[in-house]
């Protein structure tokens, strides 16, 4: 299969969330035009995105909402549970551990790690903060699919090295640094400063 652009995957994700809304409203079919309207894109874009994975619609009618939802869930790999560990028991880590959105989508947070002695052993929800030094041996016993990294900038590089050593192939990075990882590890960055600066830029350069 040809390489799929990140922007495409983001849109698929978006389409899925619209389909779920549409499904709740009880509608049975939806057109590429309607999906485009909801997602702020064009109908051609929607059809092109979907056509990368097959041909799911009916000409003259549109797409079956439950069928397309199911297909998208399959494409996005949401048909299974993913095991997630959180690295960094600070404020962001704490907020994430409590975040219900993870479990709703099949992402199970099964462990929290930190480097800081003071935090190790504390209980969070139903989890106990464990020392990051144990990550590699723990990972041998229970598979982790995704590591959520929420550590201070300075300790992040070291922490990520351990995550990679533990064989984890996907990282959701909240630390404000660029991670360097082998090619087979996928990283998604969530960087508040960057988003704010994007807004700041937009506000500063309007009408030029």
183 near a copy of itself, judged by CB under 8 A = no
93 near DNA, judged by CB under 7 A = no
Residue whose CB is less far from a copy of itself, 4 or 27: 4
Helix, strand, coil: what percent of the chain each, to 5?
45, 20, 35
Residue whose CB is less far from DNA, 47 or 130: 47
Query: Which option in a copy of itself, DNA, none does residue 82 bind, with CB closer than 5 to 8 A by kind?
Result: a copy of itself
By CB under 7 A, the count of residues binding DNA is 26
Among 38, 52, 127, 157, binds a copy of itself (CB under 8 A): 38
Q: Is 116 exposed, middle or buried (0-12, 13-18, 19+ CB in 10 A)?
A: middle
CB 102 within 8 A of CB 108: yes
Query: Which option in a copy of itself, DNA, none does residue 203 bind, with CB closer than 5 to 8 A by kind?
Result: a copy of itself
Interface positions, 44-63, toward DNA (CB under 7 A)? 44-45, 47-48, 50-51, 55-63
Query: How is residue 79 annotated by DSSP?
Result: T
Residue whose CB is less far from a copy of itself, 60 or 207: 207
Taking the C-alpha atoms of 85, 88, 94 and 96 in order, what is their torsion angle to the nearest 10 degrees?
-50
Query: Which option in DNA, a copy of itself, none does residue 57 bind, with CB closer than 5 to 8 A by kind?
Result: DNA
Long-range contacts from 23-31, C-beta under 8 angstroms, 24+ separation: 23/65, 23/66, 23/69, 27/65, 28/64, 28/65, 28/66, 29/58, 29/61, 29/62, 29/63, 29/64, 29/65, 30/62, 30/63, 30/65, 30/68, 31/62, 31/63
Interface positions, 54-113, toward a copy of itself (CB under 8 A)? 75-78, 82, 91-92, 95, 98-99, 101-102, 105, 107
Where on the chain is the footprint of DNA (CB under 7 A)? 3, 5-8, 31-33, 41-45, 47-48, 50-51, 55-63
């Amino acid at each position: 299969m040809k390489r799929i652009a990140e922007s495409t995957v983001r849109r698929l994700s978006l389409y899925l969330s619209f389909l779920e809304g549409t499904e709740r409203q009880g509608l049975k079919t939806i057109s590429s035009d309607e999906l485009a309207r909801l997602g702020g894109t064009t109908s051609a874009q929607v059809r092109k995105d979907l056509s990368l994975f097959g041909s799911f619609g009916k000409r003259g009618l549109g797409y079956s909402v439950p069928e397309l939802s199911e297909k998208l869930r399959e494409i996005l790999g949401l048909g299974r549970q993913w095991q997630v560990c959180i690295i960094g028991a600070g404020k962001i880590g704490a907020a994430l551990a409590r975040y219900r959105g993870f479990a709703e989508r099949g992402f199970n947070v099964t462990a929290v790690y930190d480097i800081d002695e003071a935090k190790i052993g504390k209980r969070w929800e139903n989890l106990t903060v464990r020392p990051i030094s144990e990550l590699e041996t723990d990972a041998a016993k229970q598979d982790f699919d995704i590591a959520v990294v929420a550590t201070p900038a300075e300790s992040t590089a070291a922490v990520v090295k351990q995550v990679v050593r533990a064989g984890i192939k996907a990282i959701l990075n909240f630390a404000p640094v660029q991670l360097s990882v082998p090619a087979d590890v996928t990283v998604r960055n969530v960087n508040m400063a960057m988003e704010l600066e994007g807004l700041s830029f937009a506000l500063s350069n309007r009408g030029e």
